[in-house]
Amino acid sequence: MSSIVPDLELPILVVDDAHWQKVSSTGEEGEEYSIFGRDGFRLSTKGYEFTIPSGVDFIAPNIIQLVIGKDQLYATAYEPDCTLYTIDPANLVPMYGSRRFTGFQKGQKLIIAIGHLSPPGHDLPQPRFIVLWAGVVNIL
């Protein structure tokens, strides 16, 4: 007998071109994900090929960021060998003064952005985040 209760499993969102919120010359908008209020979800990047812009000094994403409203920014590491990420309070680190993440609230709309974050340095006075994929999630 399984100890996993199906209703308690986290929903899986699949990174794909249909949900990529990129600017389109045809005015076509990407689809949005919708999930019921939970403490988190799982994000699958399996089979998705990120397009790396020419002229950059990296070969893969290194971070997944969540933006909730104007004052909540969270992150978790993107690992090239991993294709399934758990996005929940245990795995999200608050950035730039955001409060600790405690879960999603009904009615929230958030942005997931996968990209590359370069820390500030001698040639870069501010951190630089290059978005390689972004999607919108509605919490029902």
How much is the pLDDT for 1? Answer: 43
How much is the pLDDT for 26? Answer: 77
Place of tokens 């908008």: 29
CA distance 102 to 89: 5
Domain ranges of the chain: 10-139
- Cα 102 from chain centroid? 16
Token output for 9: 């499993």
- Cα 73 from chain centroid? 11
Mean per-residue pLDDT pooled into runs of 10, the chain (140 residues)? 58 96 81 90 97 95 96 96 96 95 93 96 89 97
Place of tokens 């309070």: 89
pTM beyond cutoff 0.85 = yes
How much is the pLDDT for 130? Answer: 97
Q: Give the total residue count for the chain.
A: 140
With residues binned 3-state (H G I as helix, E B as strand, rest as coil), the percentages for the chain, rounded to 5, are 5, 35, 60
Token output for 28: 């076509």
How much is the pLDDT for 124? Answer: 83
How much is the pLDDT for 7? Answer: 52
CA distance 45 to 29: 20
Token output for 25: 């010359």
What backbone torsions phi and psi does residue 17 show, to the nearest 5 degrees?
Answer: -70, -30
Strands (E) across the chain are located at 12-14, 33-35, 41-44, 63-68, 72-77, 84-87, 93-94, 109-118, 128-139
